[in-house]
Amino acid sequence: MIELVNVPSLMTIQDLGRTGYQKFGVPVSGVMDEVSARLANYLVGNEDNTPLLEFVLRGPTIRFHFSAVFAIGGDVDAKLNGIPINPWESYWAKRGDVLEVGTLKSGMYGYIAFAGGIKCEPILGSCSTYIRANFGRALKSGDTLSLGYAILTEKEGKKLPKEFVPKYSNESEVMVILGPQEEHFTEEGIKTFLSSTYEVTAESDRMGYRLEGPAIEHSEKGADIITDAIPLGSIQVPKSGKPIIMLADRQTTGGYAKIGVVARIDVPKVAQTRPGGKLKFRAVSVEEAQKNLKRRETIMEAIKMFLLGKLRAYKLKVFEEELIAFTKVEKKR
C-alpha cells in the first residue's frame, strides 16, 4: 500500500482507456501521453495497459507502507528519502520510505508506475479516471492506494537507454490527416491552417486543447455538421475559426466540422505542450501516418523486450539506429 502524503496538482489513476463503449456515449479517457506511460510501465515489468498515476506539472509526495518497485516517467527531479534519484529508472522502495516528485521541467504530464500496478475496481473494463462521469475521482492528500501483486526481484535497477528517453518540446510540428470535412473549409482556410502557428491556450484540459491563432475560413457549408464520431486527435473548427484538438477525455460525437485528425504518433507531442506552447501542422497521407506508427510500435516492442531481459543490448542497437534515422526525419519536418 502507498499513502499520498501530498498531492499538489491534478493526479488520477489511468490506463490506456475504456475501449468498446463509444457507441454508448462513453469516452475512452486513459493516459494523455501513451508513450511515456507505457515506457514507465515497462521499467517495472508491467504490461502496457497496467494502471498507474498520471500527474499534471507537479508531482506528489508518497509514503510506502510495503516494499514496492517504482519508476517515474517525465522530465522531473525526484528524491527517495531525501536522496536524488533519476526518472526513467526503476527503484526499490522499502516500508517507510518517502518519495518526493518535483515539478516537471518540460512537458505537461508525468507518470509514476509501480510493479504490479495499482489495484482498482474496473468500470466498463478500465481503471481510467473520467471525472465528468464519476468514473473514479481526482486523488487527494491522505488517500491510500493498494498495489497489485508482483514478484519484485530483478525489477529494480532497470534504466531506459538515453536514446529512447522522450523529449518534450513546447514548439512542435504535428502531422495531420486532412478531413473528414474538408468541404466545410475554403482553399484559403486550409492554407491558413497549414501555414500558421497556433498557441495552446489556458482553456485546455484532458478533453481538448483550444488553440489561438489566425482564424480558419469556412466554406458556404459553414461550421456545423450533422453530429458524427470524434476520433482521438480530431481538430474541430467552430464558427470562431479557432481550432480545438480533441484528446483523451473527448466526447464521443460532435457537431463542428473537422479540418483534420492528428496522426496517432504525434498525439503525445500535442498532449505534452503547455499553455503558451506553439504548434504547426503538416498534412500527411493515411499511409504515411500508418507507416510512422508501425515504426514507433516496433521500437516500443524492442524497448519492452530489452527491459524484460528478452532482447540483448547489441540487438537493441538496431532499433537505436532506426530511432536516430527517424529523429533526423522528424527534425527536417
Among residues 164, 192, 214, the one where a domain terminates is 164
Domain that holds residue 298: 287-332
Question: Do 323 and 207 belong to one domain?
Answer: no
265 phi and psi, to 5 degrees?
-65, -25
Question: Do 183 and 251 belong to one domain?
Answer: yes
Question: Do 151 and 240 belong to one domain?
Answer: no
In order, the DSSP letters of 1-45 are: -EEEEE--S-EEEE-S--TT-GGGT------S-HHHHHHHHHHTT
Question: Do 191 and 259 belong to one domain?
Answer: yes
The mean pLDDT of the chain is 93
pLDDT at 199 over 50: yes
pLDDT value, residue 151:
81
DSSP classification of residue 72: E
CATH number, domain at 180? 2.40.100.10
Question: Do 12 and 148 belong to one domain?
Answer: yes
Question: Do 150 and 8 belong to one domain?
Answer: yes
Q: pLDDT per residue over 173-189, tens digit each? A: 999 999 999 999 999 99
Q: pLDDT per residue over 227-272, tens digit each? A: 999 999 999 999 999 999 999 999 999 999 999 999 999 999 999 9
Question: Do 226 and 320 belong to one domain?
Answer: no
pLDDT at 326 over 90: no
Question: Do 138 and 246 belong to one domain?
Answer: no
pLDDT value, residue 321:
63
Q: What is the pTM of this model?
A: 0.93
Question: Do 124 and 226 belong to one domain?
Answer: no
Question: Do 201 and 251 belong to one domain?
Answer: yes
Helix axes 313-332, 286-307, angle to 10 degrees: 150
Q: How confident is the model at residue 152 (pLDDT cuts 50, 70, 90)?
A: confident
Among residues 164, 188, 210, the one where a domain terminates is 164
Question: Do 108 and 9 belong to one domain?
Answer: yes
Domain count, the chain: 3
Among residues 142, 164, 186, the one where a domain terminates is 164
Question: Do 152 and 33 belong to one domain?
Answer: yes
Q: Which of helix, strand or coil describes residue 328?
A: helix
pLDDT at 136 over 70: yes
pLDDT at 330 over 60: no
Q: pLDDT per residue over 16-43, tens digit each? A: 999 999 999 999 999 999 999 999 999 9
10 phi and psi, to 5 degrees?
-60, 125
Q: Give the percent of the chain with pLDDT over 90.
A: 87
